[in-house]
């Protein structure tokens, strides 16, 4: 908040704020960053290993191995969310678990699990897409803008 919008505190309130600040535990920022880096990197490493597996054993090339790799990562993430393991990993890893594919799959599955008692259509479907809707809209708008920029640049450069 800006200083202009801050509410003026009485001396007693200010004293309490100071007291509470002294008792607040220090956040282990360096440890949290390190854990996020290690776990996020591990998720990416697993993704690379899965991609290499598909290329080696199923004859995919580097470009075509991406789709089954993403599908496998989504499946693993949803499975771990359903079993309650993903939350335990996230407590240790922190921001490292929000790698776009696995983090989004976890968020979707968590919303579906949380609202399943309200029914499949209104509970699962309605609440699951509250989160997904904004992501899908942003992705669609971003793809449109980037595609438009690419077309304009191609026209300016003469079809390169």
Is residue 141 a part of any domain in this protein? Answer: yes
**Does 24 reside within a domain?**
no
* H runs (alpha helix) in the chain: 11-23, 29-58, 66-83, 85-93, 100-114, 126-157
Cα–Cα distance, 8 to 48 (Å, whole number) = 54
What are the φ and ψ backbone dihedral angles of 110, each rounded to 5 degrees? Answer: -65, -45
Domains contained in the chain, number: 1
pLDDT of residue 129: 75
- Structure tokens that stand for 135 in this block: 């992501």
Domain assignment present for residue 98? The answer is yes
Domain containing residue 132: 39-157
Q: Is residue 13 part of a domain?
A: no
- Is residue 9 in a domain? no
CB–CB of 45/23 below 8 Å? no
Residue 90 lies in a domain: yes
pLDDT tens figures, 77-99? 999 999 999 999 999 999 999 88
At 108-128, the pLDDT tens digits run 888 888 888 888 887 887 777
From CA 18, how far away is CA 11, in angstroms rounded? Answer: 11
**Residue 29: what pLDDT?**
93
Alpha-carbon distance 10 to 18, whole Å?
12
Long-range Cβ contacts of 63-69 (<8 Å, 24+ apart): none
Q: pLDDT digit string (tens) for 33-77?
A: 999 999 999 999 999 999 999 999 999 999 999 999 999 999 999
25 domain residue, yes or no? no
21: in domain? no
């Amino acid at each position: 908040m800006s200083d202009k919008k801050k509410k003026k505190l009485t001396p007693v309130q200010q004293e309490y704020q100071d007291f509470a600040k002294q008792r607040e535990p220090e956040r282990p920022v360096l440890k949290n960053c390190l854990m996020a880096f290690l776990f996020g990197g591990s998720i990416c490493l697993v993704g690379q290993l899965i991609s290499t597996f598909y290329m080696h054993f199923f004859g995919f090339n580097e470009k075509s191995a991406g789709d089954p790799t993403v599908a496998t990562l989504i499946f693993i993430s949803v499975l771990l969310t359903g079993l309650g393991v993903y939350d335990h990993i996230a407590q240790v890893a922190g921001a490292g678990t929000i790698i776009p594919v696995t983090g989004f799959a976890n968020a979707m599955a968590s919303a579906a699990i949380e609202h399943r008692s309200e029914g499949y259509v209104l509970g699962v479907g309605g609440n699951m897409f509250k989160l997904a809707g904004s992501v899908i809209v942003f992705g669609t708008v971003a793809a449109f803008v980037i595609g438009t920029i690419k077309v304009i640049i191609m026209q300016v450069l003469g079809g390169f």
